[in-house]
Amino acid sequence: MEARSLVFKALGDPTRREILDRLREGDLNAGEIASAFEIGKASISHHLNLLKQAGLVKSRRQGQQQIYTLHTTVFQEALQWLMVFFENQTTPPNPKGSGKLGENGPRG
Amino acid sequence: MEARSLVFKALGDPTRREILDRLREGDLNAGEIASAFEIGKASISHHLNLLKQAGLVKSRRQGQQQIYTLHTTVFQEALQWLMVFFENQTTPPNPKGSGKLGENGPRG
DNA sequence: TTTATATTTTGAAAATTTTCAAAATGTCGT
DNA sequence: ACGACATTTTGAAAATTTTCAAAATATAAA
């Protein structure tokens, strides 16, 4: 599947977002991640695999354990894609400027 | 379902992303949107409904037509959520700074 | 009110996702 | 090689999503 769908689909699940959230505080192995949830290990393993396919996490083996880390590059790409929705948006034909771009519009 | 999952799930489908992309250039009615895709009108109506539930678009009636518009507030919230993954991330224990934040890190 | 146009809702099939239990794989310590 | 532990893969059930055709709804025009 295309990279962008994989990323947004991965982010569309609360369990997977919580996994990412926990990884922000530091790397975790699969067991540590699994024990934070009610669902089984196999299910977590599946979620981890989706996150990996999306490029949102990387994993490395350390002895018996598989250690998962956030991989921020893909987050940035998703971020950029979202930002284009503001920066490149042609001015709509609505009455009264709809350019809700924050304090400074596109290009300052 | 929670707002955040709705938004990311909505963005996880290529058809829905293309709908959003087309709406960037200006408002469109349901028929105009549907005719840009191979799939049936009922299916597009369903996608539009999901986008609406996610808050990514709004619709208004104009005569017989239903006109769809981008609603950027929710984009910004998704954007913010993603940004927190950089700004609030505790420095990882990896060797050599992993703060891949672009030219200027968080807080300049 | 009848007819036409635009869109949504309904009901159902096909496809995908989530989950679990059990089996398989990989690594470590003996 | 063997047993214990950590994790993934497999096979299958349950739940959700995507799609379509047909019916229903809403507005407009005659």
Q: Which residues in chain A have Cβ-Cβ distances shorter than 8 Å to B4?
A: 14, 17
pLDDT of residue A85: 77
Chain C: nucleotides under 7 Å from a protein CB? 5-11, 17-23, 26-28
How near does any CA of chain B get to the CA of A58, in Å?
A: 13
Cβ-Cβ contacts under 8 Å, B14 against chain A: 2, 4-5
- DSSP class of residue A82 equals H
Residues B75, A86: C-beta atoms closer than 8 Å:
yes
Name the residue in chain B with its Cα closest to that of A26.
B92
Confirm whether any atom of chain C, the nucleic acid strand, is less than 7 Å from CB of B34.
yes
Cα B76 to Cα A6, A36, A101, B10, distances in angstroms: 20, 30, 9, 15
Contact yes or no for A89/A105 (Cβ under 8 A): no
Q: Mean pLDDT score of chain B, rounded to an integer?
A: 85
Residue B88 in this model has a pLDDT that exceeds 80? no
pLDDT band at B84 (very low <50, low <70, confident <90, very high): confident
> Exposure of B38 by Cβ count < 10 A (0-12 exposed, 13-18 middle, 19+ buried)?
exposed
Is pLDDT larger for residue B84 or for residue A11? A11
pLDDT at B90: 57
Facing B78 at nearest CB: one of A73, A82, A102? A82
Which of A7, A8, A18 to probe by mutation at the B interface, max B CB count within 10 Å?
A: A8
Closest CA to A22 of A73, A70, A61: A70
pLDDT digits (tens, 9 = 90+) for B38-68: 999 999 999 999 999 999 999 999 999 999 9
First-to-final CA distance of chain B: 36
d(CA B42, CA B39): 8
pLDDT tens by residue, A49-95:
999 999 999 999 999 999 999 999 999 999 999 988 777 665 544 43
Which residues from the 31-70 window of protein chain B have CB within 7 angstroms of nucleic acid chain D? 38-40, 42-43, 46-47, 50, 61, 63-64
What number of C-beta contacts closer than 8 Å exist between A and B? 92
